Amino acid sequence: MSNIKKLTIKDIATKANVSTATVSRYLNGQLNQMSEKTAAKLKKIIKETAYIRNSAAVQLAKQKSNLIAVIASNIDEYFSSEYFKGIVSILSAQGYIGVLFDSNSDKIIESALLESVYNQNFAGLILQPLSTDRRLIEKFSNNHIPVVLIDRDIGNGEISTVTTNNFQITKFAMTNFLDKGFTKVTIITEPVNDISTRVERVAGARSVFDNVQLIEVDTDHLDLAELSDKIDIKNPKNFLFVLKERLLIQLIANTDLLNETNSQQRLTGFIDTNIPKYLAPKYKFIQQSPYLMGATAAEILMAQFLEQHNTDIKQIVIPSRFE
């Protein structure tokens, strides 16, 4: 067994002739609370002594772990898997681990997960909310557990959020189709249910078209035959606007829209990957950036750890593109 004594924070503080609190602040990235000279001295000593921080002891002292809870509305969606990758890319670089939970598009499950996460030793929470009930997550903030919302906003302006420009980009895309001579848009979506993302996209379409048909479906039990009877496909002035990529792919793969010769595009929607572009290379879609949204959410969370006295609420919009 090695007889080499492991260095402690106190040992580093003695070598640097500073307090243990100063060393702790340096290790926690709170460099704004010390001079540049002190920070440089600590960096040099830590490198020379090959000091390794005892993460377990730090977590015990803080009564927090290095685990970050990520609650997705539905992990079957491409959007969820992509933004989780973005979250992990930032967390792992900072020594944190993202733990993914699935509320499975069910508010009751979401509520139970939030309660479970709150009662466990998680350092922070990134949430794609289903419920608009702010009370479900206010207790996290009240207990100084950082929370960032992704993709959706619950409207109180008191919690940092990362969203996309749903209304603006939808309005831009709809104007493009109006200019091409279309007079009707059929929107295909999962139940809107006051979910801000869907509400904003529907509003964007209605801001351009007077004739709007809204069809709400169950993605997991989609009856394409029944749907085809509703979407007025024989009307050449009607086009389809799909709010979710998984729905969009099912329509591209199972309708005759792409097989019509010499016809203009009659289908568009929001996408999270390049799959729809491979299936319909001549079509234009609204391309989201879920990976970047996830990475941005994680960066905001990390900043809240490092700037414990910073109460600024971030409302970040990652633009989507119609291309």
The span from the CA of 119 to the CA of 179, in Å, is 54
Share of the chain above pLDDT 90, in %: 48
pLDDT band per the 50, 70, 90 thresholds, residue 172: very high
The span from the CA of 172 to the CA of 140, in Å, is 37
SS3 of 91, please?
A: helix
pLDDT score recorded for residue 263: 63
Which range of 14-18, 69-73, 191-195 scores highest in mean pLDDT? It is: 69-73
For range 275-292, the mean pLDDT:
94
Q: Buried (b) or exposed (e) across 66-92, using 16+ Cβ within 10 A? A: bbbbbbbbbbebbbbbbbbebbbebbe
Least confident span in 60-64, 198-202, 289-293: 60-64
The bridge status of strand 124-127 relative to strand 147-150 is parallel
* Token pair recorded at residue 296: 């941005």
Burial class (CB in 10 A: 0-12, 13-18, 19+), 57: exposed
The bridge status of strand 97-102 relative to strand 286-287 is unpaired
pLDDT band per the 50, 70, 90 thresholds, residue 8: confident
SS3 of 139, please?
A: helix
Residues ≥6 apart with Cβ < 8 Å to 65: 59, 121, 122, 123
pTM of model > 0.85 = no
Least confident span in 71-80, 125-134, 137-146: 137-146
* Token pair recorded at residue 49: 């002594």
